[in-house]
Amino acid sequence: MRELKVTHQNYAWGAFGTSSVRDLARANAARHGDGLSATDDADSVPFAELWAGTHPSGMSHIAPDDDAQSQTLLSYVQSNAERALGAECVEKFGKDVPFLMKVLSVRGALSIQAHPDKALAARLHAQNPGAYKDSNHKPEMAVAIGDFEALSGFVHAKTLAERLRRTPELASVVGDERCQAFIDCVSDDAKSDTERIRQAFKDVFRAIMTANHDVVRDATRALATRLKSAEPTSLDDAEAVYVRLIEQYPDDVGALCAFILNHINLRPGEGIYMAANEPHAYLFGECVEVMATSDNVVRAGLTPKFRDVDVLCDMLTYELGAPTILAGDVINACTKRYVPPFDEFALDVVSCAPGAALGVPARVGPSIWLISRGSATFNGTPVRPGAVVFVENQEPVNIIVDDDDDGDGFHAYACAPNV
């Protein structure tokens, strides 16, 4: 095992003051003798993401010891691929850690976005490497630390049809003819097959996302004025989310996605996964996020960053309905495992009482452990919150939690390939 010095990102939507990302970033830096600068650690600085992995935008480093000089995690696994990654992992994913692990502290909504599949990622990277940093796909999964809000996937067609009827400002952006065609398509169950409805939904979404700026401005302002003048308790869920989004991003077409995407409220320990080409946006809260090693994001709203609207509208699958909520599979008394339908990653959440001992069997491929609470010895090394550990292929883990641990015991997140 090797300890990692990790990085953090100060994106504008991150949390100010105390947050999981800030606390863990500060603790990890202190563990490696650095500490954060006074400028970086100020309450006025947003702490958005903590990264652990090999992506060049947030590379982790091996902590130096008697056996190894300081080097990037990527350099280390490439130089020791068979031992660190294992032959099966190398054959399947190449000489790299196949996953990226993050902690997110979300204060303001992230962009309306989707992540490309491998073929599209390769094309986008070749065409615009400044916006698309790598050629990999980016399926991902988020597990809530506390209460967590997101928009994920498109609502059912009948839900959108009803919202178009009830929200004239939204319908005005779609256009009368296209709006009525969609409502007729959804209403005519006997003649509407799944593909026809999906295409009609795509037409509505594209009409909204590509609408004239003046039309969007006038509609979003009129809708905001009407909803803000109503009694808050009279607003339905989509309307309440819209009011919040338009306050954060005035005149932004992305706020209308409150009516188009599923609003998801996760309780602590619940998770969702997003395949390639599925729309989503995180709204508020903290989570652990794992994904294939990529930073490719196609955006179309709720952001000052580059928007690739045509690409986003074309790439989406237009699967309709709410996403699957993961509760985690019980592995043992201390461990829940979250298993998405992707090869690159699965996530274990490990919680042990003070004085407990846990033996974790060897696994195929590497794993990265992030300690978020409590103190313990980890394969004989003392660890506390902020410690991040890289465990090599087929290396078992033995955890002994301190007897005098105060509070809720030991808590950690461990990501490994889903093989």
Active-site positions? Answer: 299
For tokens 């990529």, the residue is 294
Confirm if 322 and 371 have CB atoms less than 8 A apart. Answer: no
Residue 308 DSSP class: -
Measure the CA–CA gap between 101 and 117, rounded to whole angstroms: 19
Confirm if 40 and 99 have CB atoms less than 8 A apart. Answer: no
What are the angstrom distances between the C-alpha of 190 and each of 193, 319, 321?
A: 8, 20, 20
- The H-assigned helical ranges of 188-346 are 194-209, 213-229, 237-248, 309-315
What are the angstrom distances between the C-alpha of 183 and each of 36, 138, 172, 191, 275?
A: 55, 34, 14, 13, 28
Across the beta sheet with 381-383, what order do the strands follow? 357-360, 397-401, 376-378, 381-383
Confirm if 354 and 403 have CB atoms less than 8 A apart. Answer: yes
What is the per-residue burial (b if ≥16 Cβ within 10 Å, else e) of 44-73? Answer: ebbbbbbbbbbbeebbbbbbeeeeeeeeeb
Residue 240 DSSP class: H
What are the angstrom distances between the C-alpha of 67 and each of 63, 98, 413?
A: 10, 25, 26
For tokens 């709006």, the residue is 179
Confirm if 25 and 60 have CB atoms less than 8 A apart. Answer: no
Q: Which two tokens stand for residue 280?
A: 């989503």
Confirm if 205 and 315 have CB atoms less than 8 A apart. Answer: no
Query: Residue 77: in which H helix or E strand, if any?
Result: helix 73-79
User: What SS3 string covers 148-200?
Assistant: EEEEEEECCHHHHHHHHHHCHHHHHHHCHHHHHHHHHHHHCCCCCCHHHHHHH
